[in-house]
Amino acid sequence: MKYISGNSLRLPKRKKDSKKGDNGKVLVIGGSEQYVGALALAGMAALRSGADWVTVIAPEKVGWAVNCLSPDLVVQKYKSAYFRKKHVSHFLAAESKYDVVLLGNGIGRKSDKFVRSYAKQSKKPMVIDADAIRALSLEDVNNSIITPHKKEFATLMKNSQVSSGEVLQKSLRNNVIILKGKTDQIMYKGEILYNKTGNAGMTKAGTGDVLAGLAAGFYAQAKNALEAAKLAAYYNGLIGDILLKRKKGFTYLASDMVNEIKRVCN
């Protein structure tokens, strides 16, 4: 078993003469009236990773709520309670300005048709999380990072008609899977890497949104899916471990993790 070592990881560097946007631009598509916080956590984690610019597209009411939660995110409001297939062309036009698209945080299942249509047509590298995973198969995406927990992974395998590890390796194409668990598994083209950072406090709602945001932010900067996945898994877990010691227990929240990123990823 090959484990990720923090000593082998390198955070993305930026040139001294770089300008706004040179160090990664992320588009986050998600949110629903039931899940506002997921979108804000993911967007803020992407910013805290070092990305220069993060834009969130959300249903209108959700968008206003995200505005209230963070002044740092650019928020575009979509005039519907959920995302519809007929408006995919709008999102395909919007994505052109960004390096990476993060799809799925808080999006809910009503947007499944939109998710499938958009993912199949998008030309951008993606990070796929939450209910977007349940709507897709591995054939629908390429050059993407997928971040399932155990149940979402089972659904993804069923959708992809994958019945064994051997078939999975052939079906991955250029995608990377971060299978979240006690020990994270990072699956990519014939190899599996393992990450041991993290603890049981990370079963709290929102910690996966932080992971997805980190993955998107690192991907937008590093332009390498595997490196971004390794960085995201390792640092997300490390932040949880630091907070576990500081709080002396499992009382920390996903929002605490976002605030801790700046102290760890520097």
Q: What is the pLDDT of residues 1-52, one digit of tens each?
A: 999 999 999 999 998 999 999 999 999 999 999 999 999 999 999 999 999 9
Which residues 6+ apart lie within 8 Å of 76 measured at CB?
A: 55, 56, 57, 58, 63, 94
Q: Determine the average pLDDT of the residues in 74-100.
A: 96
The rounded distance, in Å, linking the Cα atoms of 172 and 160 is 10
Q: What is the pLDDT of residues 206-236, one digit of tens each?
A: 999 999 999 999 999 999 999 999 999 999 9
pLDDT at 91: 97
3 state DSSP class of 166: helix
pLDDT at 166: 78
> Beta strand 25-29 with 100-103: parallel, antiparallel or unpaired?
parallel
pTM: 0.97
What would the DSSP string read from start to end of 14-36? --TT--TTTT-EEEEE--BTTBS
Distances (CA, A) of 73 to 70, 81, 106, 115, 165: 6, 20, 16, 22, 39
Q: What is the pLDDT of residues 166-177, one digit of tens each?
A: 789 889 989 999
The rounded distance, in Å, linking the Cα atoms of 90 and 152 is 28
3 state DSSP class of 131: helix
Give phi and psi for 253, each to the nearest 5.
-115, 170
Cβ-count burial of 254 within 10 angstroms (0-12 exposed, 13-18 middle, 19+ buried)?
A: buried
Q: What is the pLDDT of residues 175-202, one digit of tens each?
A: 999 999 999 999 998 899 999 999 999 9
The rounded distance, in Å, linking the Cα atoms of 148 and 129 is 7
Cβ-defined contacts of 154-157 (< 8 Å, 24+)? none
The full set of domains in the chain, from first to last, is 23-264 (3.40.1190.20)
Q: What is the pLDDT of residues 105-133, one digit of tens each?
A: 999 999 999 999 999 999 999 999 999 99
pLDDT category of residue 154 using cuts at 50, 70 and 90: very high
Q: What is the mean pLDDT of the chain?
A: 96
Is 95 in contact with 20 (CB distance < 8 Å)?
A: no
The two structure tokens encoding residue 20: 């706004």
3 state DSSP class of 218: helix
